[in-house]
Amino acid sequence: MGFIMRISKSLSGQRKEKTQRYFCKDCKRYFNLRRNKRSRYTREFKNETVKRYVEDNTSLRAIAKRMEVSRSMVLNWVSEAGKLCKDPIETDLKLNPSWSGILGIDGKPVSISGRKDVVLVAVDRLTKDLVHLQIVKAESEEDFENFLIEIRDIIKYPLTSLVSDLGKGKVLVKLVASIFPNTPHQICVIHFCRYVDMILPKSKKSEYHRQNTFLRGIIKDILFAKSLRESNKLYQLFNTVEDTFRVGYQKAIIKSIIEHYELLTSHFHHEHLPRDNNVTENVIKQLNRKLKLADGYQSRESAYNHLKLWALCYRFKPFTDSRIQENNGRAPLQLAKVDTSKTDWLEFSRCN
């Protein structure tokens, strides 16, 4: 019964499509057999839009303006891609990366419907590959436990040592000791110093300013000592002056360092164990930039779908400014001995 002309948008611009029209003798209506009758955009155009949103350090509004589509349309395409995207566990089992065994674990608060949850991230120290990622409730010991059990039993990460911070309520320390017994565990000294700086007032007007300055200094000297012997010597000095600090917040700091001294100095006993969690922190910083642009999520599902896309993109994206020169031009998965040179990360996210 003739043809109609439709306009669709692709990466090369707008193009006209000729569509056959038919007439139904039973219902007396015209119709066509176009499979995606509402799709005004090609798959390539949608994929490129999703890639630009995930890969580029820019906002939803900027991507929509650049691609000349509405913000809601970009968000819909990203959501659709996120639902189909492999999660970190599926990617691990599919590609079977070869990791170093030194694992860093850290968390980042994320806003979901006005509630603060935590994105837990596990990163391999040498390859910088993102081993696992999950959204957990901020104070849920069960969620934290499941995260560690998945690393051990499903991903089967070849753990030889682990670096983390103390965690809220020291939950993480207790769980690591329970789930990974006899595994060397280092508490990040940089995180601990931040905790000390947060608790001890820095004001010069405080009557305890000199004591606070001395306490802060000796703790940093203990944590950043060049050898275990030097650290032990400073720690013994620290114990001799312990009773001179009588303010509540000073006692809390002293109690914490005494209780966790072995975990804070574990790196002295194990050659390849770092004293900090900087590798995981750098991944968290990249994640944080994306979370700021997202400006919160309406549901945990939408947040996780978005994070799955970001995580897979990170694992496939080659480094460009790594301090380790031989890492530049290679992606985390490539450092983990996975050949990704001919694989498009977004296409991989959907394949079985």
Evaluate the CA torsion angle 344, 350, 351, 352 in order and state its sign: positive
The dihedral region occupied by 113, where left means phi > 0, alpha psi between -120 and 50, and beta the remainder, is left
* Largest pairwise CA distance in the chain: 99
Choose among 46, 37, 36: nearest CA to 73.
46
**Contact indicator for 104, 277 with CB cutoff of 8 Å:** yes
Contacts of 29 (CB under 8 A, 6+ apart): 23
What pLDDT, on the 0 to 100 scale, is given for residue 116? Answer: 83
**Contact indicator for 72, 79 with CB cutoff of 8 Å:** no
Q: Which helix (H) or strand (E) holds 310?
A: helix 300-316
Note the pTM of the prediction, 2 decimals: 0.85
What pLDDT, on the 0 to 100 scale, is given for residue 186? Answer: 96
Domain positions in the chain: 3-84, 88-350
Choose among 280, 243, 279, 235: nearest CA to 261.
235
- Which residue ranges in the chain fall short of pLDDT 70? 1-19, 31-39, 139, 168-169, 295, 352
CB atoms inside a 10 Å sphere around CB 212: 22
Place of tokens 């001919």: 342
Measured distance CA(220)–CA(300) in Å, rounded: 39
Tens digits of residue pLDDT in 209-241: 999 999 999 999 999 999 999 999 999 988 888
The two three-digit tokens of residue 268, written as one number: 């002295």
